Structure 1
Amino acid sequence: MSKPSKQAEQIAPEAARPGRVRRSLSYLFNPGFIQDWRAIWKERGFRGFVREKGWRIVAAIILYYLVRDSLLYLVLPYLAARGLLKC
């Protein structure tokens, strides 16, 4: 594979190096503390994760998904049906 020219890097450095953009986007959606939690989960499983981080983290994750799903599947369709939210 040929190396991109310097002119291409000057015009669009992100386009010339797509790996760099991909890494920054993955960090945005997967911050460092989540990567640490995922590593603990892979190494020690659910029990090890709960022992190290505690039940509060598990409860926070469950609560996050409960709120997110209730907004997505209950509140937004209700507002769309009432005509308050124009789709």
Structure 2
Amino acid sequence: MQIIIVAKKMNPADPELEVCDIVQVSWLDRWQVYQRLQELEIPCWCGVDQPLRAKISTAKQAAQLASVLRQLSAPRRELVQLLECCWQIG
């Protein structure tokens, strides 16, 4: 899985960046990622034979995107450890 991030600053006086992530995932996983981003209310789109694109405007959205992608790419053992760590904190 490869992620290419293209960032454009819309207004030099505005610290907020408008970022469009071009997310390249296998065609089997693309629909699952798209659905999850829609559930998280992260604007995203993809055309036929095109990479998935997501508009990331906040740090929270960036973390959510990273989490969704980690669920697909991380080994099961790593995901279990992360979940156990979250349970200990909570």
TM-score, normalised relative to structure 2: 0.29
Q: Greater Rg, structure 1 or structure 2?
A: 1
Higher fraction of helix? 1
Higher fraction of strand? 2
